Amino acid sequence: MRRPTRRRHTFGVLAGVVLLTIAGAGAPAAARQPGPACSDRPATTAALHDLTGAHRLVGAAIEVSGPECGRWSAASGRADLRTGRPMRVDERIRIGSSTKAFTATVVLQLVAEGQLVLDAAIERYLPGRIRGNGYDGRRITVRDLLRHTSGLPDHVDALDWDRVDRWRYRHFAPAELIAMALAQPPPTASWHYSTTNYVLAGLIVEQVTGHDISMEITRRIIGPLGLRDTYWPGDSVRIRGDHPRGYALVGAERRRDVTEFSMSYGGAGGALVSTLADQNRFFAALLGGRLLDPVRLAEMTHTVPTDPDRLWPDARYGLGIISTPLVDCGGALYWGHGGTTPGFRTLGGVTAGGRRAQLVVNDEPASYESWQALSTTLHTALCEAR
């Protein structure tokens, strides 16, 4: 899920299975502490401080973990401009579009169980839902939704981001979000990032299971993995427990506190609240084969080219997951997602060697250089020598 910015970001095709050899992927993070040889990450620390220094973002935090060094984390800047409270690594944050990886995982589990057919038209599950203005659910498959090749616009683009106070506290029903999307002209590109795709995927899950997508994500992923700080907020505009304040550029104003926000506008494509540690644990378990069988994981990691203006250069999209080459690691891929919501930007993933990292800033980057600095920080964390 995204919101418009000066440069839009959301935060090789593999036919085989990406089953990462992640040591201890399912073990509690607290059980893996860094050893003396791994406690220093000067390049990552410098890049993190650059986000809050040179790029003047309010706060930034990162957690890195893996089989060679256990868990390492650092924070910079402030969690709260009013009180001056420093940023922390262990607090809850909005993860935005990383929710898509959770939703896609549930869909693929249902495919494995025979309750869904990945290449079936969505008309089969949501009859009559996508019709009119040139859109036809009989020509769009479930797979198309998950990899953003449906040809559907993004309802997020239709929201008034210069006047968020008019709608930030209100509830949006999925039908309303879909109507907002269908009222827009068709995208011109064959690949078009659209949170509407995942709103529809969530409705399909509800149709075949009889349960809301939030219940299925909780039952199938959050509970089994013990993600104690990850939850679906529903209509609550507040973040439970300890959390940084989130800031954004709104209209002509420089910066505003937008921590309180109804995430119903993101739904199955962007609603979840989590922590850096829980996100690292989720992606390690997902790519390590704990949530999907090899056939379904191969489907998820079969990627297509993307639009760099709606993601980032060289990114490829699978089914709810993104592959990105790490130039500093010789072009090796990392797998993950990113999220953009009012007040929070997250980015993270896992390498084939098992190192994983999650990064968050509680501010809106105001320039392309700031956006690039986020990517640089993550890439440094994933590539810095042990």
pLDDT band for position 31 (cuts 50, 70, 90): very low
Percentage, residues of the chain above pLDDT 70: 89
d(CA 48, CA 88): 13
What is the predicted pLDDT for the residue at 253?
67
What is the predicted pLDDT for the residue at 311?
86
Q: Which residue has the higher pLDDT, 337 or 9?
A: 337
Q: Secondary structure of the chain: what % helix, strand, coil (to 5)? A: 35, 15, 50
Residue 213 in this model has a pLDDT that exceeds 90: yes
What is the predicted pLDDT for the residue at 197?
98
* Planar angle of CA 322, 265, 97, nearest 5 degrees: 15
Rg (CA), the chain: 19
Residue 9 in this model has a pLDDT that exceeds 80: no
What is the predicted pLDDT for the residue at 24?
36
Q: Which residue has the higher pLDDT, 31 or 142?
A: 142
What is the predicted pLDDT for the residue at 12?
28
Q: Which residue has the higher pLDDT, 18 or 106?
A: 106
**36, 91, 375 from 278: Cα distances, Å:** 24, 11, 20
The domain locations on the chain are: 42-383
Tell me what the mean pLDDT of segment 283-301 comes to.
98
What is the predicted pLDDT for the residue at 1?
60
Tens digits of residue pLDDT in 62-116:
999 988 878 999 999 999 999 999 999 999 999 999 999 999 999 999 999 999 9
d(CA 128, CA 268): 20
| Catalytic-residue membership of 97 | yes
Tell me what the mean pLDDT of segment 204-231 comes to.
98
Residue 55 in this model has a pLDDT that exceeds 50: yes
pLDDT band for position 277 (cuts 50, 70, 90): very high
d(CA 86, CA 58): 10
pLDDT band for position 250 (cuts 50, 70, 90): confident
The Cα diameter of the chain in Å comes to 62
CA 24 to chain centre: 23
Looking at domain 42-383, its CATH class is alpha beta
For residue 339, report the phi and psi dihedrals to the nearest 5 degrees.
Answer: -145, 140
pLDDT band for position 327 (cuts 50, 70, 90): confident
Low-confidence winner among 8-17, 180-189, 235-244, 257-266 (lowest mean pLDDT): 8-17
Residue 18 in this model has a pLDDT that exceeds 90: no
pLDDT band for position 312 (cuts 50, 70, 90): confident
Tell me what the mean pLDDT of segment 183-208 comes to.
97
Tens digits of residue pLDDT in 127-185:
999 999 999 999 999 999 999 999 999 999 999 998 899 999 999 999 999 999 999 99
pLDDT band for position 251 (cuts 50, 70, 90): low
Percentage, residues of the chain above pLDDT 90: 80
Residue 19 in this model has a pLDDT that exceeds 90: no
Structure tokens at 222: 């959050």
| Identified catalytic residue from 65, 73, 76, 97 | 97
Residue 2 in this model has a pLDDT that exceeds 60: no
